[in-house]
């Protein structure tokens, strides 16, 4: 009666396990990047919706986007009710058109945007997503 496994059997199992992990890990990393990008995009879309609502209450609001440190916040009534930083934890970078480093989106007392339009791209690794803010302040996801 034989007990245990031979060194060859253990080596074969470890080799198969390593092969399986080498196939699964890049896919898992891509899924994690995509999830972080979509989460960041939705966080910013929520912040913009909140800013439009605050504009109705306070007579106007401004959303500030800083691409360098991936920070987005809004001001309404002389206060900064909410700030989102995408760089440390999710590690997502924000890209503005034409290589700009900053953008301000203004909303009047009716919650209508006062900018021609703005496109925010969110990227981490190979994953990328886009948020388009129309001149009226509506948000569209791509």
pLDDT single digits (tens) 3-35: 877 888 889 888 888 888 888 777 778 888 999
Beta carbons within 8 Å of 128's beta carbon, 6+ residues apart: 37, 121, 122
Residue 14, domain member (yes or no) = yes
Neighbour order of strands in the sheet with 79-85: 79-85, 71-76, 61-66, 102-107
What confidence score (pLDDT) does residue 116 get? 67
**Contact at 8 Å (CB) between 80 and 107?**
no
Q: Print the domain residue range for 84.
A: 7-141
CATH code, domain carrying 26: 3.55.40.10
Residue 123, domain member (yes or no) = yes
Two tokens, residue 93:
């970078």
State the Cα–Cα distance between residues 85 and 119, nearest whole angstrom: 18
Residue among 109, 139, 112 at smallest CA distance from 120: 139
Residue 2, domain member (yes or no) = no
Stretches in the chain below the pLDDT threshold 50 = none
Total domains, the chain? 1
Residue 1, domain member (yes or no) = no
């Amino acid at each position: 009666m034989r007990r245990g496994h031979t060194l060859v059997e253990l080596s074969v199992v470890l080799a198969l396990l390593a092969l399986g992990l080498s196939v699964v890990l890049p896919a898992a990393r891509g899924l994690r990047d995509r999830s972080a990008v979509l989460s960041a995009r939705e966080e910013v879309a929520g912040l913009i919706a909140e800013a439009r609502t605050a504009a109705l209450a306070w007579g106007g609001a401004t959303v500030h986007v800083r691409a360098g440190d991936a920070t987005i916040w809004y001001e309404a009534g002389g206060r900064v009710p909410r700030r989102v930083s995408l760089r440390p934890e999710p590690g997502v970078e924000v890209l503005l058109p034409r290589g700009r480093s900053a953008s301000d989106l203004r909303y009047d007392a009716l919650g209508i945007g006062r900018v021609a339009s703005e496109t925010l791209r969110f990227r981490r690794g190979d994953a990328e997503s886009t948020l388009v803010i129309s001149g009226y302040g509506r948000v569209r996801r791509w």
